């Protein structure tokens, strides 16, 4: 909108956005994430991730391993 609409319209939109931002900041997070990276000293990095939502019960968990290029000998 900047430079396209009038200053009054732009200022009103900015006020509305600021109000929405303030409201968003009041919400408590409901999704918790835990993650860990380890093993670089071995040439193979292990990635472990898990997350869950206290509101809807969604859960996600995975593990992956990646070889560090040049360390796979």
pLDDT in tens, 5-59: 899 999 999 999 998 888 888 888 899 999 999 999 999 999 999 999 999 999 9
CA distances from 32 to 38, 49, 59, 61 (A): 20, 11, 10, 12
Side-chain half-sphere exposure of 5, counting CA atoms within 13 A: 10
Of the pLDDT bands very low, low, confident and very high (cuts 50, 70, 90), residue 73 is: low
What SS3 state is found at 56? coil
CA distances from 56 to 40, 59, 60 (A): 35, 9, 12
Contact 33, 51 (CB under 8 A): yes
Per-residue tokens: 32: 């918790």
- pLDDT computed for residue 23 by the predictor: 85
Per-residue tokens: 60: 């996600």
- Its CATH architecture, for the domain 7-67, is Single Sheet (2.20)
- pLDDT computed for residue 40 by the predictor: 92
- pLDDT computed for residue 72 by the predictor: 59
């Amino acid at each position: 909108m900047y430079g396209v609409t009038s200053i009054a319209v732009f200022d009103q939109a900015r006020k509305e956005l600021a109000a929405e931002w303030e409201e968003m900041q009041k919400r408590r997070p409901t999704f918790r994430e835990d993650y860990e990276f380890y093993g670089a000293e071995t040439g193979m990095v292990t990635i472990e991730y898990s997350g869950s939502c206290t509101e809807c019960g969604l859960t996600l968990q995975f593990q992956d391993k990646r070889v560090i290029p040049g360390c796979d000998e």
